[in-house]
Amino acid sequence: MLSCRAFRIHKEPFSAAFESVQLKEPEDGQVLVKVHYSSVNYKDALAGTGSAPIIRKAVLTGGIDLAGVVEHSTVAEFQKGDEVLAVGSGLGEIYDGGYASYAVVPADVLIAKPPQLDLRTTMIIGTAGFTAALCLECMLQNNQTLQLGAVVVTGASGGVGSFAVHLLSRLGYETVAATHKKEAGDYLKTLGADKIINAIEAQPGPLAKAIWGGAIDNLGGDTLATLLKTTRNGGNVVSVGLAESSQLNITVMPLIIRGVSLLGVTSANCPMPLKRKIWQSLGDKYSPSVVQAMLHDVVKLDELPMCFEKLLNRQVQGRILV
């Protein structure tokens, strides 16, 4: 039986601390992974501080992302020595996650490392970079053309926002980054933003002047409502976060008058065939030098609690690698 150190989260009463864990041998359909890297996402910060009911077991190891090397496998698809990754798919919620030196995970949540990427880079990208690519995939499938005009990204200096800005720019879209962080201007321009604005100003009434060709929104609430009111005919607005609010108060007018589409994106519950397809393309979608520029910090497991607080207090620009 293998022993390892892990960041364990207890549901009721809430507590979170580093503990020594005895790992059982993988059962049928499971794989033992030696974890080389993980990352810190907004969901990790919520789970690790008890700020939201993320975990759905009495106790588990946190971390919704991991990348590492297979130590032992009970399935033919993965063999000892294979480099693999997993993002979301229940890690850190119903399965033990990446905040440990080893993890036993279901084989069906693992993805073979794309050949163009190393393990470290996969975790700089992580859930955030995958989610941004999924947002763009949904928009493109719903006919988001360059001719519709500028696409605005809210929460642009965060993980998902940063990757969304970069990916939109790489695809040739006029890209507008919305952020409250004045100091993030140069960073966002490095990622490819054509214009930077402070915030999305609330607009009264069921419709307002059409400004945007589309939007990727990390905030929710009044910001999402205003984006819907101000998007042009046939544009897409992707909802991917609720940093402002989970509430949405709006009429159906933008949908039935302008044909605006409100698209919901879930990275955690994305079907695995699509998830694997997108990951295999990410090495070509993202510029390696720009991905490195998104790296806010590299931390050790012991520093996780401090990272959680910084992330929840919006003091992080880009990504944190563990």
pLDDT digit string (tens) for 169-211? 999 999 999 998 888 999 999 999 999 999 888 888 999 999 9
Please choose, from the candidates 191, 192, 170, 119, the residue with its C-alpha nearest in 3D space to the C-alpha of residue 285. Answer: 170
For the chain, list the domains and their CATH numbers.
2-113 (3.90.180.10), 128-264 (3.40.50.720)
Burial class (CB in 10 A: 0-12, 13-18, 19+), 61: buried
Percent of the chain predicted with pLDDT > 70: 100
pLDDT of residue 296: 92
pTM of the model: 0.92
Please tell me the distance from the alpha carbon of residue 319 to that of residue 125, in angstroms, as a whole number. 8
Summarize the confidence of residues 67-74 as an average pLDDT: 97
Q: For residue 56, give the DSSP letter.
A: -
- Given a cut of 80, whether residue 152 has pLDDT beyond it is yes
- Given a cut of 90, whether residue 255 has pLDDT beyond it is yes
pLDDT of residue 238: 98
pLDDT of residue 287: 75
Which structure tokens are listed for 180?
């409250």
Contacts of residue 160, Cβ cutoff 8 Å, sequence gap at least 6: 128, 131, 132, 135, 216, 218, 240, 241
Do you find a cis peptide bond into 114, omega within 30 degrees of 0? Answer: no
- Given a cut of 80, whether residue 107 has pLDDT beyond it is yes
pLDDT of residue 208: 96
Please tell me the distance from the alpha carbon of residue 203 to that of residue 224, in angstroms, as a whole number. 11
- Given a cut of 80, whether residue 52 has pLDDT beyond it is yes
pLDDT of residue 24: 87
From its phi and psi, is residue 314 left (phi > 0), alpha (psi between -120 and 50) or beta? left
Please tell me the distance from the alpha carbon of residue 151 to that of residue 173, in angstroms, as a whole number. 7
pLDDT bin (cut points 50, 70, 90) of residue 288 is: confident
Please choose, from the candidates 239, 251, 178, the residue with its C-alpha nearest in 3D space to the C-alpha of residue 211. Answer: 178
pLDDT of residue 199: 84
Task: State the chain's mean pLDDT as an integer.
Answer: 94
pLDDT of residue 87: 95
pLDDT of residue 284: 79
- Given a cut of 80, whether residue 1 has pLDDT beyond it is no
